[in-house]
Amino acid sequence: MLFVEGMPLLYLELAVGQRMRQGSIGAWRTISPYLSGVGVARGVVSFFLAPSRAARPALSPSPVSRPQDPLPWAVCPLNANRTGFEEECEKASSTQYFWYRKTLNISPGIEAGGGVQWEPALCLLLAWLLVYLCILRGTESTGKVVYFTASLPYCVLLIYLVRGLTLHGATNGLVYMFTPKMEQLANPKAWINAATQIFFSLGLGFGSLIAFASYNEPSSDCRRHAIVVSLVNSSTSIFASVVTFSIYGFKATFNYESCLNKVILLLTNSFDLEDGFLTTSNLEQVKGYLAATYPSKYSQLFPQIRNCSLEAELDTAVQGTGLAFIVYTEAIKNMEVSQLWSVLYFFMLLLLGVGSMLGNTAAILTPLTDSKAISSRLPKEAVSGLLCLVSCAVGMLFTVEAGNYWFDIFNDYAATLSLLLIVLVETVAVCYVYGLRRFESDLKAMTGCTLSWYWKAMWAGVSPLLIVSLLLFYLSDYILTGTLQYQAWDAAQGQLVTKDYPTYALAVIGLLVATSTMCIPLVALGTFVMRRLKREDLAPAV
């Protein structure tokens, strides 16, 4: 996906922005007046994602502000009578309890809205205030901030790499990561996930690339930039994965060994075995002996004997919602000097989130300030302030008790289908509306470089055909799935349960998808009608 989608489309967007010297709306209007809707659709997608992109970094300061010993998610709190632990926490885990109950105070379903949680709401407000201060002076100040927010996480990751590789069980995670499962290549969802990862990590389809590239010098080598950024991006993903899976390996090994120790303790006490007789190496053999020798007693005890599996622990370590806030933090709580690793980790998440917010905001702000109708009436500072204010107001939806469910809706459905369609239209527009030969001559005039067969083949054939295939599968998969579902937190069971989305939530999902995708045909139709009416007004009377 990197070589057939990511790299070619990154080069295309950078070249379009650098050639047209305008934001996403103006750039596509220059190619064809009927394509202005592509830029509008990009802006709508970025606007929908901006509040959700701010929701996660807004939650990062919450754990950082409490680096106590032990960490607040390391142990379950006592119940009201102080006779034991909270029942919900005991059924789940201390990490899940802290995330779902203390941080989110999550409702049992999307239909139970609940009140605003003041701490996430305040952090969200501060995050947007920080973004406003960063974009206030234009791309020059934004670029400097992005250098900081993009480079410092590398330092944190490097520190985590050294720590992660020295953890007990880290090699189990790395072996799990690098062991290929070839059967997954036959699963179209794997390719959808790969395409989505490339689109989001490179920022394809959002308009931010075109907006930033429009400030480049016309002679800049955007091809080299596309290649370097693509390779650095994917190398960073692999680097971060090595860090992540080393820590996941530690967490899975810790849980696996804890499970074995509980079984050993249970069998030792129940059958009055000598201390130290039962070990992890002879556990299965002794279990078989006890089952054969004491069948009735063993059968009564069997429901309490857990089936410990390292493979199962590794499988569950990389799944589920709240991945960054549950799995990672559960591993951190078992590390030495856990307070330090906690602060470093959440500070990194905060920087990455702010950097993502800046890119999204730039994608919306550039076409707005390029518009003469807006810039002639309002100064840039006012437009930036209004954009941040509206985005913050929409983001407050994610700070209510049901906010996490609405976050999942915006995060899962506001962009994926729309991005595929937008990038497909832009590729077809450049190659077959503007003309590939014409675009090639423009690039040669700007940079002095000629297009190789690779870029032409990707733009004109391979990339759009693959996007069409992904679109068809994406749609058919949702049609065959039936009613859309989500994961809701059940406090009584202490775990996530699957529920169907209510009708109004499905309507919001449909509205999110339609609002962005329909911009392209509606703006084209509006342009056609306006040009037709203008032509009739100019026609001489008979």
Which residue, 490, 501, 500, is CA-closest to 96?
A: 490
Residue bearing tokens 């070990």? 279
DSSP 34: G
Contact 108, 495 (CB under 8 A): no
Angle (CA) 327-332-337 rounded to 5° is 175
- Could you give the CA distance from residue 214 to residue 21 in angstroms, rounded to a whole number? 4
Q: Which residues pair with 486 in a beta bridge?
A: 499
Most distant CA atoms of the chain, gap in Å: 111
Kindly tell me the sign of the dihedral angle through the C-alpha atoms of 492, 493, 496, 502. negative
- Could you give the CA distance from residue 487 to residue 108 in angstroms, rounded to a whole number? 10
Backbone angles phi, psi at 287, to 5 degrees: -60, -40
| Helical H segments across 338-460, by residue range | 338-370, 372-375, 380-395, 403-413, 416-428, 436-447, 453-457
201 in a labelled binding site: yes
384 in a labelled binding site: no
352 in a labelled binding site: yes
356 in a labelled binding site: yes
- Could you give the CA distance from residue 113 to residue 527 in angstroms, rounded to a whole number? 41
- Could you give the CA distance from residue 108 to residue 95 in angstroms, rounded to a whole number? 18
| Helical H segments across 166-279, by residue range | 170-178, 188-202, 208-213, 222-270
Q: Which residues contact 99 (CB under 8 A, 6 or more apart)?
A: 73, 322, 325, 326, 329
Residue bearing tokens 């309890």? 97
Q: Which residues contact 177 (CB under 8 A, 6 or more apart)?
A: 241, 242, 245
Backbone angles phi, psi at 114, to 5 degrees: 80, 180
- What's the chain's Rg over C-alpha atoms? 27
- Cα–Cα distance list, 487 to 112, 402, 408, 461, 478 (Å): 14, 12, 9, 39, 17
> How many whole angstroms from its chain centre is CA 195?
13
Q: Which residues pair with 496 in a beta bridge?
A: 489
Q: To the nearest 5 percent, what fractions of the chain are helix, strand and coil? A: 75, 5, 20
Supply 127's token pair. Answer: 């995050």
DSSP 498: E
Q: Convert 491-526 to b/e letters by CB count within 10 Å (16 or more is b).
A: beebebeebebeeebeebbeebbebbbebbeebbee
Residue numbers belonging to the annotated binding site for Na(+): 201, 233, 352, 356
> Residues at the annotated binding site?
201, 233, 352, 356
